[in-house]
Structure 1
């Protein structure tokens, strides 16, 4: 499979001020595969170290963190010389040996010639718990499930993904049915690499669902194994409530749906844990449209989305037969799946702030407001071809954004103040607004 993140890895390799790189992302989104694929493509050699249950590596890093000593130990472990110019060092599950994370500071300061990439399925939690390494000594890359464009490349063909890349909307419209069919498949399969790879080879929805159930079971095992024992029940309740939270017309997270009488202070730590390990995306409400949007955020109101649309469908028990019923996919649980899908695609775009807007009376809600550092762009999500945009017009009349975006199953169209962007092209939103 092709992952667009590999381009970022090549840019990192060629960077003049290269630092050790930490890849963050939820379990099973393809971090290990990406690192090894990059090592195979871009280097003459790679040394892969998995720190999980690795007593030898734990002992190596337990002593002083002198980089010459560490390299010697890694060479002894690998059984060969490490050439700093031609070898990629991969530290996997690095959070299991916190001093290995701490060593990245010394590699950056004392031995920057070495190319080091790190990852770990619960790395975000380790970092937020205060594992010792200074800010500014490492680079970060976030990895998510396959985007729809990556799914297209794997399942339909890279030429169709190329049409989206080139924004050839005349040709895209000619092949709209191909894109629409692939989007329906993506809503069910999602972007978890194992599920996509199996579907690309076998086209077996039953097997995809089995894979998704295994992934969800692994996530729930992580709750018990890695989370503080006192918040495990709350993590489970938050996680289990997300499908019903998103099924509501107003998708703002409501603690009362988790448990009657629940209060924010009882569940904040559980939500933060889910966010830190990459399983949940928290999208905050904004009360205004100035730049930066962060300054207008209402910290008490937010939506929660899961890491992958296919996993959300599995959690909700979405039937595979829905795929065969045409537009039924967009009427059964349609709002939840469509907003989840759009959020998931927006998260893959670098340096994009993602929020949503409601006015104080609740009479106007815009599904997403994005901040590209220059302007705030409202995005209204429609599951079908319904092009009514009352909230978008209300928002425009109040805040006068340069451009607004409505995404639906309708074809691309550019109007004076509005871009109609097909759902299957939502990843191209950054290019669309950059042209304005």
Structure 2
């Protein structure tokens, strides 16, 4: 199935509105970057030349040998199997992490102006940390993630009218028709099982075979582990692999916190901090740091040595747990410890929308699964997988604390929409409607 992505809108906006900037599309391996770029350029009838630096390693030698901008332009012409037309052709360089210096050189190519440029690659969050000079002002960046739940719905019979009605229920805090709500909850369960990796979603849409989904997830996991060995020194390889493989076990704990000593007894966070940063920057894991106070700005109270780690894709997480876990999710087996799975899905959804995620823990007030900045306030979030979703003492305590100035807390559960005091209960799928606050600030003109 040919999947549409929200990021295509951003790519299209760049194509139409930013002729003096290059485009960089980044994201973890296999999230659909190349496909999205091709879809937009083809749909807009753009003249483009695509070169993959992994499939064509000789291209790296050609680009690296270039001493001037003219050399680079000549190099592209030599590599191309088609005529490159100045002022018209778009040059699409895929797997650009194989020659990361290209991102520095793009500034000079944009200034030269013969062609427009699209760059794409994985592990750029890792590679760019060592880059000498980033082309500030010369590049638009789009980050891609696995399909979110709303994107996942395109493989179902849920149309835009239903989505619009659900959004209205979210905005007005009114219940959804029971039959529709149950249908959406069931679809969200399927999302937990399949996840948002495009190949897995497309395969499931065509075949509905979970064995194929698990095989695809295993293949992607193998690629991740290969990246660990390919891009890091030998002493870090085993640590990266072990740190990543430990995430599913840590999410089975009651508080989901990642404990460094579970990797190796006596290990200190400071010695392995770069390992967790690598996993985050590579886009294969999501980090949620502790905030010592649930008040804005949350970043000011960040304690990075205390954290949770989630998989970047919830479907890959449930595949790690195995087919039995997926079956228990489908049959709503109450014996399943599903809290970490639901938390992973909520974290994944919020992260893709640009939220900075934190959690809060206090001996006096209790622990909040997540705290986000929403409507210019700190908003607590609890994720419940069972029937006792109305029990949330930590949220009650924090909402009642006038120092934190919280206006609303969200409980995501297998329920319908309702409100009680400052607590809003939402079905899990409605996380797709939470949107990050706009960062645009308009100042009034100051008269002198």
Pairwise same-fold verdict (TM > 0.5): yes
CA RMSD between the two structures: 2.5
CA contact (8 A) 2:291 2:301 kept: yes
In the TM superposition, what is the alpha-carbon distance from 1:212 to its structure 2 partner?
Answer: 1.2
Alignment partner of 1:50 is 2:55: no
Q: CA 1:387/1:82 → structure 2, altered by over 3 Å: closer, same or farther?
A: farther
Q: Which runs of structure 2 are paired with 1:3-402 in the superposition (5 Å)?
A: 3-16=5-18, 19-52=21-54, 54-64=56-66, 66-83=68-85, 86-111=88-113, 114-159=115-160, 162-163=163-164, 166-168=167-169, 173-319=178-324, 320-325=326-331, 327-328=332-333, 331-350=335-354, 352-359=355-362, 361=363, 363-372=365-374, 374-385=376-387, 386-398=389-401, 399-402=404-407
What secondary structure sits across from 2:434 in the alignment?
helix
1:300-341, CA deviations, whole angstroms, 9 ceiling, x for partnerless residues? 21111111111111222251422442x22x651311101000
1:243-282, CA deviations, whole angstroms, 9 ceiling, x for partnerless residues? 1111111112111211222211232122122112111111
Report the counterpart of residue 446 of structure 2 in structure 1.
Answer: none
What secondary structure sits across from 1:175 in the alignment?
helix
Bigger shift: 169-178 or 159-168? 159-168
Q: CA 1:76/1:222 → structure 2, altered by over 3 Å: closer, same or farther?
A: same
Distance in structure 1 (CA, Å) of the matches to 2:225 and 2:165: 36
Q: CA 1:130/1:77 → structure 2, altered by over 3 Å: closer, same or farther?
A: closer
In the TM superposition, what is the alpha-carbon distance from 1:83 to its structure 2 partner?
Answer: 4.2
Provide TM-score, normalisation by structure 1: 0.90
In the TM superposition, what is the alpha-carbon distance from 1:136 to its structure 2 partner?
Answer: 4.1
What secondary structure sits across from 1:353 in the alignment?
coil
What secondary structure sits across from 1:407 in the alignment?
strand
Distance in structure 2 (CA, Å) of the matches to 1:283 and 1:120: 25
Bigger shift: 51-60 or 264-273? 51-60
What secondary structure sits across from 1:188 in the alignment?
helix
Bigger shift: 141-150 or 314-323? 314-323
CA contact (8 A) 1:378 1:404 kept: yes
Distance in structure 2 (CA, Å) of the matches to 1:293 and 1:236: 30
Distance in structure 2 (CA, Å) of the matches to 1:227 and 1:431: 34
Distance in structure 1 (CA, Å) of the matches to 2:370 and 2:198: 26
CA contact (8 A) 2:189 2:330 kept: no
Bigger shift: 139-148 or 78-87? 78-87
Number of residue-to-residue matches in the alignment: 429
Structure 1 runs (4+) deviating above 6 angstroms are 431-434
In the TM superposition, what is the alpha-carbon distance from 1:68 to its structure 2 partner?
Answer: 4.3
Distance in structure 1 (CA, Å) of the matches to 2:67 and 2:379: 47
CA contact (8 A) 1:49 1:91 kept: yes
1:118-168, CA deviations, whole angstroms, 9 ceiling, x for partnerless residues? 111222211112354344432221111111111111234444773477434
Distance in structure 2 (CA, Å) of the matches to 1:237 and 1:32: 29
Structure 2 stretches lacking a partner, 5+ long: 440-448
CA contact (8 A) 1:287 1:297 kept: yes
In the TM superposition, what is the alpha-carbon distance from 1:402 to its structure 2 partner?
Answer: 2.3
What secondary structure sits across from 2:93 in the alignment?
strand
Q: CA 1:339/1:61 → structure 2, altered by over 3 Å: closer, same or farther?
A: same
Distance in structure 1 (CA, Å) of the matches to 2:177 and 2:8: 26
